[in-house]
């Protein structure tokens, strides 16, 4: 596409053309209205004067006879710039006046008409137009009085010329302005396109230029930049995930394969094979579980689960989870307590439930208070209170807080952020089963709802809190960054 | 498992609509081994015509099929008034996919990869619906009796006190007495959660229930089926 072709295809230029057309139409109708009104006024003026003269001359004829009529006509006809006069006999002969010739048939009808004429004292081809009145006089004579329309025509010419010029000026200014505006827009769009192409070519760190004027293009650019920011973060996350998956799924897969190989190599009895196969199934179940958790996190992080949001009571979810895990906690020598007030929440009930379940499972697994050390006096029994896990649902400001508090060893402040990453297991001995994805999932669910997972100190112990805006469905990470963007409720 | 299957429906007919030849053959073989009649359709169109003409107790439908998508197949069947229970198999295991599948007219949804024990348990529970209504007001297994209206549970002459959730757990087990019920089925139907707990949380609930209904009685009713789940049944049968 040529540069000019690009220019005239811009929206700015096309809009200019539309406005241009509208303005031209407006100017033309304004001038037209003016011309029409002026013409009407002039015509009125002519009819008034001509009518006055007609009645004057008719009066002369009626009262003083034909002779005086001729005299009056001849004397008036000789005045410079005078009106048109013509008197005809009943047989149609021209007897007095200053008319050289007329369009045929004018004298035949009485009343007003517009006609071409030539003056007696002018050359053969000097035709003009006039507005004339033909009156029937008594005795069969006819009187024509008229006035030249030159004045009206000249005025019309002036208006037409004005129209021509003004439309020409409007068009030139409009097209020039359009090209100017279109070029400016085009330059900025071209800069954006260039950046976009660089980004498409793989340089995800590129950002669109944002001007200082804060106009619509700048707002667009900064919104697109926010979007790019998010895409980059997602891409980095994706890469991290695939690296982690490669690492953390390969290890159990290798173990699985080794076991199968070993069982195959050793000739054993049926019971041995059976045991090997059972272990294989167990191991693959664990793999599937890890895989599902990873997919769930990926979905929560990409925002796809946003389709399933509705309103529910967070306290009910907390009660359900409490009820589900209470026997398990008790078996582990802990007590699970519940403290809730009704708090309505908009979100994905299933995911919130699972996130809370993960936190409770963690508390049951890792929230055991440290056993009294041998150095301490005998009989220092861990108090019952320390074996308590508290599930809480409450509202604080415009946030809904779902928290799980244990009195175990807690997580040192420096490791809290790290603990939420995928596959991270702080328990280096890995004495408890688990995939290291529980907190990541809880965090991803909180983020999906526009909130966050907070880990803090319970002195001693850990408080894990899902802090979620009460109207979570209306926001997401992107919208949080640019709050002036109209937000769409998913 | 073989024993239970024969007790319930000796000649259950299952149609498997699955395009992956290897897993389809595996399913057909496995269902035949437990004594069922299993037919196979390789694509959506073939599956639709077989399901429509054949008299099957359960359809096992893969979600993604050549020629006709699994969900559209189910929708068409339902539009024709065919109410055969459908279990959807899908590689898409997420909550919203499940909801989509059930909305399209499926009766149950099992994400891949699955264990055959889980699939079998679900198919058996589904097919029961086809046989007759299980909505009696009182369930009885051996001398255990559960009244769904008055929420009373008794074993022999002893009245048992159950927590509300324990009652629902027992109710679900007894509704499907003689059938294997898996842990995920319990989590789905009793607690309405569809996730996969990393811990043995369901087992703990079961052992509590067991201590209430079986402890001190000569004949246990609540059985653990290894590698599959649980079943409530009168030991004699």
Domains of chain B from N-terminus onward: 2-131 (3.40.50.2300), 138-232 (1.10.10.10)
Q: Do B197 and A357 touch (CB under 8 A)?
A: yes
Q: Do A324 and B193 touch (CB under 8 A)?
A: yes
Q: Do B201 and A328 touch (CB under 8 A)?
A: yes
Tens digit of pLDDT for each residue in A132-171?
899 888 888 888 898 888 888 888 888 888 888 888 888 8
Between CA B124 and CA B14 the distance in angstroms is: 10
> For the domain with range A307-369+385-490, which CATH number is right: 3.40.710.10, 3.40.50.11720, 3.40.50.300, 3.30.565.10?
3.30.565.10
Between CA A332 and CA B181 the distance in angstroms is: 25
Helix axes A216-265, A150-200, angle to 10 degrees: 30
Nearest-neighbour CA in chain A from B20: distance (Å): 20
Nearest-neighbour CA in chain A from B184: distance (Å): 13
Q: Is the pLDDT of residue B9 over 50?
A: no
Q: Is the pLDDT of residue B129 over 70?
A: no
Q: Is the pLDDT of residue A432 over 70?
A: no
Between CA A358 and CA A333 the distance in angstroms is: 19
Between CA B206 and CA B222 the distance in angstroms is: 9
Top-ranked range on mean pLDDT: pick from A45-49, A481-485, B223-227: A45-49
Query: What band does A473 get if pLDDT is binned at 50, 70 and 90?
Result: very low
Tell whether B226 lies on the interface with A, counting CB pairs under 8 A: no
pTM (two decimals): 0.61
Beta-bridge mates of residue B17: B41, B61
Structure confidence at residue B6 (pLDDT): 43
Tens digit of pLDDT for each residue in B183-213?
888 888 888 887 776 678 888 899 889 888 8
Residue of B nearest to A298 (CA): B94
Of all residues in chain B, what percent carry a pLDDT higher than 70? 88
Tens digit of pLDDT for each residue in A44-80?
988 999 999 899 888 888 888 888 888 888 888 888 7
Structure confidence at residue B1 (pLDDT): 43
Query: What band does A306 get if pLDDT is binned at 50, 70 and 90?
Result: low
Q: Do A295 and B94 touch (CB under 8 A)?
A: yes
Q: Is the pLDDT of residue A370 over 70?
A: no
For A337, the token pair is: 């307590």
CATH topology of domain A3-154: Beta-Lactamase (3.30.450)
Q: Do B193 and A354 touch (CB under 8 A)?
A: yes
Structure confidence at residue A372 (pLDDT): 53
Mean pLDDT across A307-325: 85
Q: Which residues of B touch A285 (CB under 8 A)?
A: 115
Backbone angles phi, psi at A255, to 5 degrees: -60, -45
What is the rounded average pLDDT for all residues in chain A? 80
Q: Which residues of B touch A305 (CB under 8 A)?
A: 94-96
Tell whether B138 lies on the interface with A, counting CB pairs under 8 A: no
Chain centroid, CA A188 distance in Å: 19
Tell whether B191 lies on the interface with A, counting CB pairs under 8 A: yes
Q: Do A433 and B198 touch (CB under 8 A)?
A: yes
Structure confidence at residue B224 (pLDDT): 87
Structure confidence at residue A476 (pLDDT): 41
Query: What band does A433 get if pLDDT is binned at 50, 70 and 90?
Result: low
Between CA A84 and CA B75 the distance in angstroms is: 94
Structure confidence at residue B10 (pLDDT): 56
Scanning A256-285 for CB atoms below 8 A from B yields 278, 281, 284-285
Structure confidence at residue A487 (pLDDT): 38
Q: Is the pLDDT of residue B12 over 80?
A: yes
Q: Is the pLDDT of residue A397 over 50?
A: yes
3-state secondary structure of A454: strand
Size of interface A-B (CB pairs under 8 A): 68
Higher pLDDT, B129 or A142: A142
Q: Is the pLDDT of residue A471 over 60?
A: yes
Q: Which residues of B touch A361 (CB under 8 A)?
A: 197-199, 201
Of all residues in chain A, what percent carry a pLDDT higher than 70? 87
Nearest-neighbour CA in chain A from B56: distance (Å): 31
- For A235, B27, B90, the CA distances from B94, given in Å and listed in that order, are 22, 23, 10
Beta-bridge mates of residue A85: A145
Bond before A460 cis per omega within 30 degrees = yes
> Is the CB of residue B169 less than 8 Å from the CB of residue B163?
no
Look at strands B152-155 and B158-160 and give their pairing: antiparallel
């Amino acid at each position: 596409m040529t540069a000019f072709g690009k220019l005239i295809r811009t929206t700015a230029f096309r809009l200019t053309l539309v406005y241009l057309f509208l303005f031209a139409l407006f100017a033309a109708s304004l001038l037209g209205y003016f011309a029409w009104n002026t013409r009407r006024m002039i015509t009125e003026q002519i009819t008034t004067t001509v009518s006055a003269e007609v009645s004057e001359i008719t009066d002369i004829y009626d009262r003083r006879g034909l002779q005086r009529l001729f005299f009056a006509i001849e004397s008036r006809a000789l005045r410079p710039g005078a009106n048109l006069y013509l008197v005809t006999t009943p047989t149609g002969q021209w007897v007095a006046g200053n008319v050289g010739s007329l369009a045929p048939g004018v004298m035949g009808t009485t009343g007003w008409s517009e006609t071409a004429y030539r003056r007696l004292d002018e050359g053969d081809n000097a035709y003009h137009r006039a507005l004339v009145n033909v009156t029937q006089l008594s005795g069969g004579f006819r009187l024509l009085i008229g006035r030249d329309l030159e004045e009206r025509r000249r005025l019309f010419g002036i208006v037409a010329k004005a129209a021509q010029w003004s439309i020409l000026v409007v068009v030139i200014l409009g097209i020039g302005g359009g090209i100017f505006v279109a070029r400016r827009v085009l330059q900025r769009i071209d800069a954006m396109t260039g950046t976009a192409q660089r980004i498409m070519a793989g340089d995800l760190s590129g950002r669109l230029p944002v001007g200082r004027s804060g106009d619509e293009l700048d707002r667009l650019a900064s919104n697109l930049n926010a979007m790019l920011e998010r895409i980059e973060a997602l891409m980095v996350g994706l890469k991290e995930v695939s690296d982690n998956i490669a690492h953390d799924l390969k290890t159990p897969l290798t173990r699985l394969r080794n076991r199968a190989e070993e069982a195959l190599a050793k000739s054993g009895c049926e019971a041995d094979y059976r045991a090997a196969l059972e272990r294989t199934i167990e191991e693959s179940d664990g793999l599937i579980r890890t895989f599902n958790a990873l997919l769930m996190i990926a979905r929560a992080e990409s925002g796809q689960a946003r389709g399933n949001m509705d309103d529910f009571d967070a306290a009910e979810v907390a009660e359900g989870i409490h009820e589900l895990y209470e026997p398990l906690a008790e078996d582990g020598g802990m007590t699970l307590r519940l403290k809730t007030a009704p708090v309505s929440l908009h979100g994905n009930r299933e995911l919130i439930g699972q996130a809370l379940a993960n936190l409770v499972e963690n508390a049951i697994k890792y929230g055991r208070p440290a056993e009294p050390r041998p150095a301490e006096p005998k009989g220092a029994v861990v108090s019952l209170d320390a074996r308590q896990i508290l599930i809480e649902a409450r509202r604080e400001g415009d946030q809904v807080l779902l928290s799980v508090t244990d009195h175990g060893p807690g997580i040192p402040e420096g490791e809290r952020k790290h603990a939420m990453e995928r596959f991270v297991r702080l328990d280096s001995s890995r004495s408890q089963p688990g995939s290291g994805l529980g907190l990541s999932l809880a965090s991803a669910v909180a983020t999906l709802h526009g909130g966050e997972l907070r880990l803090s100190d319970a002195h001693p112990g850990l408080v894990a809190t899902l802090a979620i805006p009460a109207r979570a469905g209306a926001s997401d990470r992107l919208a949080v960054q640019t709050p002036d963007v109209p937000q769409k409720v998913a | 498992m073989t024993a239970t299957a024969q007790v319930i429906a000796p000649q259950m007919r299952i149609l498997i609509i699955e395009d992956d030849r290897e897993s389809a053959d595996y399913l057909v073989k496995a269902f035949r081994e437990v004594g069922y009649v299993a037919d196979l359709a390789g694509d959506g169109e073939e599956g639709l015509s077989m399901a429509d003409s054949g008299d099957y107790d359960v359809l096992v439908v893969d979600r993604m099929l050549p020629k006709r998508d699994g969900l559209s197949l189910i929708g068409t069947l339902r539009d024709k008034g065919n109410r055969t229970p459908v279990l959807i198999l899908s590689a898409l295991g997420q909550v919203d996919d499940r909801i989509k599948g059930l909305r399209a007219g499926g009766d149950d949804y099992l994400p891949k990869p699955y264990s055959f024990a889980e699939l079998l348990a679900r198919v058996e529970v589904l097919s029961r619906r086809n046989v007759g209504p299980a909505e009696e007001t009182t369930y009885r297994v051996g001398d255990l009796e559960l009244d769904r209206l008055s929420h009373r549970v008794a074993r022999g002459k002893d009245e048992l006190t159950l927590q509300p959730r324990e009652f629902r757990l027992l109710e679900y087990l007894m509704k499907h007495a003689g059938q294997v019920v898996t842990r995920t089925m319990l989590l789905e139907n009793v607690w309405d959660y569809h996730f996969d707990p990393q811990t043995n949380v369901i087992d703990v609930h079961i052992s509590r229930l067991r201590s209430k209904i079986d402890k001190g009685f000569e004949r246990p009713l609540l059985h653990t089926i290894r590698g599959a789940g649980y079943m409530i049944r009168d030991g004699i049968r």
